[in-house]
Amino acid sequence: MTTPSLLILPGDGIGPEVMAEVRRVIDWYGDKRGLKFDVSEDLVGGAAYDVHGTPLHDDTMAKAQEVDAVLLGAVGGPKYDVLDFSVKPERGLLRLRKEMDLFANLRPAQCFDALADFSSLKKDVVAGLDIMIVRELTSGIYFGEPRGIFTEGNERVGINTQRYTESEIDRVARNAFELAMKRGRKLCSMEKANVMESGILWREVVTKVGEDYPEVELSHMYADAGAMQLCRWPKQFDVIVTDNLFGDLLSDAAAMLTGSLGMLPSASLGAPMENGRPKAMYEPVHGSAPDIAGQGKANPIACILSFAMALRYSFDQGAEADRLEAAINAVLEKGVRTADLLGEEGVTPVSTAGMGDAILAALDESL
């Protein structure tokens, strides 16, 4: 049996620090559970630009196409703000998503009970929250043409085009319906069909796909109303499917319901490869946080949870993903906290590596 392959791209800022803790978890699974991975590492973002003059070298892109899954840390930082738009660190991330055709971005918003007080909403509103936002990732307004800044008459105009084909909507909708079948069998589709033709098409196609999933309760909601409802009573949702722009906004709003961006993972999935596994990239929702880079203050949990998602969606190791998530929950229940989660009385502050130590100890206890 072929050893599953992982390409690790730590990136910039706190990326290398949080990814170092993921490497320790990967090693634990190899040593204690016999779950081996063929792990390679390369550069992306500013780190790649510093060496190659591009945020993603062609050789790295080729590796990403060949492995079973990519695990990415974070990209960007103020030192790269002066670069031309075409070589900014974020362009490396967008190239990975586009060329790997990672069309479905899975963004869970899960609130661990131990952290319910960190949300800006009341505890009873968020405690036990577990929703999944499926965001279309390779089309829509971020990729549509024409785009650019042009001169019309005596002033400039910025243009971005919202564009979706039926097939692009169909495939992300099917991904969302399949997820709903494995969860609460409830799916809410969000768009702006009241003012956007692309929203009308989105609603029509999702409704048509829904005919193939009669077990799933499908509802539709305008995206702005969805944002309001996420803040009012998020537990009314289970799976949400939406386009690239609205998914970007709604998933960040849902992320903050849980109290800390340092806690949230994501998965970006594409079409199945020859081995039946989907092309996939996993990354924490948080950014590169250059202001705390190198200080041992970063929370590695989001990146470790991203590896848990890889175990579940790329490597058919759902039970081991459950084990890792349970270990993280046990650590939080004991009051172990990195700098982003301090503020309560009676907690134990730890560094980035200290949180890794605690999670590894909890994994040992799970055996």
Whether residue 224 lies in the annotated active site = yes
106-126: average pLDDT: 85
Please say which residue of 230, 257, 284 terminates a domain: 257
165 falls within a domain? yes
Q: Is the pTM of this model over 0.85?
A: yes
When divided into structural domains, the chain yields a total of 2
235 with 326, same domain: the answer is: no
209 with 302, same domain: the answer is: no
Mean pLDDT, the chain, whole residue set: 94
36 falls within a domain? yes
pLDDT digit string (tens) for 321-347? 999 999 999 999 999 999 988 877 789
237 with 272, same domain: the answer is: no
127 falls within a domain? no
252 with 268, same domain: the answer is: no
225 with 154, same domain: the answer is: yes
**Domain of 69: which CATH number?**
3.40.718.10
Please say which residue of 257, 288, 322 terminates a domain: 257
Rounded Cα distance between 173 and 224, Å, is 20
pLDDT at 113: 82
Q: Among residues 80, 142, 164, 213, which one is catalytic? A: 142
pLDDT at residue 244 greater than cutoff 70: yes
Q: Among residues 224, 322, 334, 357, which one is catalytic? A: 224
Q: Among residues 50, 101, 113, 252, which one is catalytic? A: 252
Whether residue 192 lies in the annotated active site = yes
Rg of the chain on CA atoms, in Å = 20
27-51: average pLDDT: 97
Q: What range defines the domain where residue 32 resides?
A: 1-112+260-367
Contact 279, 67 (CB under 8 A): no
135 falls within a domain? no
156 falls within a domain? yes
150 with 247, same domain: the answer is: yes
183 with 291, same domain: the answer is: no
Count Cα neighbours of 302 within 13 Å in the Cβ-side half-sphere: 31
**Domain of 167: which CATH number?**
3.40.50.2300
Site of tokens 């998503």: 97
Please say which residue of 194, 223, 257 terminates a domain: 257
Q: Which helix (H) or strand (E) holds 39?
A: strand 38-41
367 falls within a domain? yes
134 falls within a domain? no
Q: Among residues 192, 238, 279, 313, which one is catalytic? A: 192
Amino acid, res. 65: Q
234 with 269, same domain: the answer is: no
121 falls within a domain? no
pLDDT at residue 33 greater than cutoff 70: yes
Rounded Cα distance between 305 and 286, Å, is 12
pLDDT at 261: 67
pLDDT at 102: 95
253 with 265, same domain: the answer is: no
Q: Among residues 42, 238, 248, 340, which one is catalytic? A: 248
